[in-house]
Amino acid sequence: MRDKSKSIKAQVTPFLIIGILIIVVVLIILIFGDNLSSIPEEVSPIYSYYLSCINEIGYEGSLILGQQGGYIEKPDFESGNEYMPFSSELDFLGTGVPYWFYVSGNGILKENIPSKEKMENQLNEYIRTRISECDFSDFEEQGSEIIFNEPIVKTKINKDNIDIEINQDLVINYKDISWKKSNHNAKTDSKLGRFYDLSKDIYLREKETMFLENYGIDILRLYAPVDGVEITCSPQIWNLDNVRKELILALEGNIPHFKLKGDYYSLTNELNKYFITDLGKDVNVNVNFLYLKDWPMKLEVWPSEDDLLIANPVGLQEGLGMLGFCYVPYHFVYDFAYPVMIQIYENGELFQFPMVVYIEKNQARESEDIEGLPNVVPELCEYKLNKMNIYTYDNKLNPIESSIQYNCFNTQCYIGKTEIKNNDAVLKGEVPQCVNGIIIARAEGYETGKILIEDVNKNSIDILLNKKYNLDLEVNAEKAIITFTKGDKVITVNYPEQKQIELSSGDYNIKVYSYINSSITLQGSKTEKCVEVPKSGVLGVFGLTEDKCFTLEIPSQVISYAVSGGGNQDYYVADSELENSNKILINIKNFDIPRKVEDLQENYNKVEINDLDINFI
């Protein structure tokens, strides 16, 4: 009798083999697609250049992300104010770097840390918009034709490299060869991921332990009057401006000594262990903590009077003569805040992010009070449901081709570019349905144009962009600070170090402070101060008091320069003036040279009331 099971197995085996072969073939096709065909030798140099160009663009994007705290497109700018001088960005050598933690103008603690996904999305957009800049002209001169469409880019930031996937139809025609490829892969060497991970570790350690604030409290107590007692019968007086200068010098000298536990440095003195913070792991790349004296600082002290910190002696009052000596106790309470830049670098690569160190009432801030900024999911950009025609013009209604972006809830969506058609620069596209979103238009040589969208059903908008003009600047002063304020935009010029300015048409407030270069000795002054003290004897027991007066003497002091002239002027700058001029000449009025503090204050007041003579030449 035949074994039927063996017969069935014999019949099934060939089908299994065939099925497996089919699956393998399908997988190969799905995985490799148009990679199955080898690249013709004549086409290979062109494709190699294409991949190297993608690599270079990706690397450039990673450098920008590192320099700007993980952002290519920075969050909407939020300005500071006199109460809290920190904007949402720290000006570092002319580049605004978004704070990872800062205190807003209305005193709210905010953090703004980009996620790795957000960094990848911004890098995707950076690469996508710049692939068209790859220059194939050398190959085209040799007879090649290169055709490609709009790409779709996906990146992944790893610890030591960045994977780049491009979906873009690339067609290369050369003589009788026509070759096409749609999926492209590149890998860029970059330590962006490693540096970002370490940056987050540093930030979280700061959030857990407030080590920067604790160092700041030590600096405050070492270099400023906080608590103490002086054995003297004279009042102790500190000038707040001098206290500020001492603290600035102390921050500038101490903060660069901060280190993380690791092997990227060697200790020359055991005392320097004080400056080392342990992250729980050894750090093997360079980490730099930085403070610059020109950065903003908040310093407010209680009690203070006329920018003076005054501590009065104990022992002079009637009834206290039994002490046999005088002493001056003092206790001052500070709100003290300043930025620190944290930089991680190695072999030409850098990742940096700033934080505001905030000491409130002599104590480190409470991390639980932080309000995180909205982190809207990037998918918002995928749901562009509102059709809209966007037109961009200059202020003479000439069409201007512009790049269009839609911002909503801290999410930026690239929409496209307006193109000139029939005397209009227009983009017919789709934007997310987001109330109070902002459409932003950018064009080289023009101010950025913005339009607030309050009606999501609006289907057509016009955006006007003001042209910018570069002008020489001349002021009849040896040294001056000039500010041009237009709305919320302020341009500051340090003359004569800067002798050019870029302006567009509009209403400006122009203010000039002129300074003399020689040192001036400001005369001191004496002021009588009186304090209420208990009356001597039995009367004091019943709460009766009397005034006890003493003289406060402010010594003479030397300042390196003083306001000696200036003025203030509201001025409408017209396009015709900008078009037909290459220089702006500002004439100011010179004041009397100040000899004492009151003269200096008077000169500041004169700046506010004196007009300027402004001429475009």
Whether 212 and 259 have beta carbons less than 8 Å apart is answered as no
Enclosing H/E stretch for 559: strand 557-559
Q: Can you give the pLDDT at residue 521?
A: 62
Rounded Cα distance, 403 and 273, in Å: 52
Rounded Cα distance, 229 and 364, in Å: 24
Q: Can you give the pLDDT at residue 311?
A: 81
- Which amino acid does the sequence have at 161? N
Q: Can you give the pLDDT at residue 321?
A: 36
Average pLDDT across each block of 10 residues of the chain; the chain has 617 residues. List them in order: 48 56 46 54 90 94 95 90 86 92 84 93 94 90 89 94 94 89 93 96 93 94 90 73 93 93 87 90 93 92 79 54 58 94 93 95 75 46 77 89 79 81 88 79 85 79 89 89 80 80 90 74 61 52 60 57 84 90 91 73 82 91
Residue 442 three-state SS = strand
Rounded Cα distance, 578 and 503, in Å: 8
Q: Can you give the pLDDT at residue 161?
A: 95
Residue closest to 392 by CA, chosen among 353, 433, 421: 421
Block residue for tokens 């934007």: 431
Reported pTM: 0.56
- In terms of Cβ atoms closer than 10 Å to its own Cβ (0-12, 13-18, 19+), residue 436 is exposed
Residue 158 three-state SS = coil
Give 72's strand partners.
none
What CA–CA distances, in Å, run from 441 to 22, 132, 177, 338, 544? 53, 20, 42, 34, 72
CB neighbours (10 Å) of residue 501? 17
Q: Can you give the pLDDT at residue 296?
A: 92
Whether 163 and 185 have beta carbons less than 8 Å apart is answered as yes
Q: Can you give the pLDDT at residue 323?
A: 37
Rounded Cα distance, 38 and 32, in Å: 11
Whether 548 and 316 have beta carbons less than 8 Å apart is answered as yes
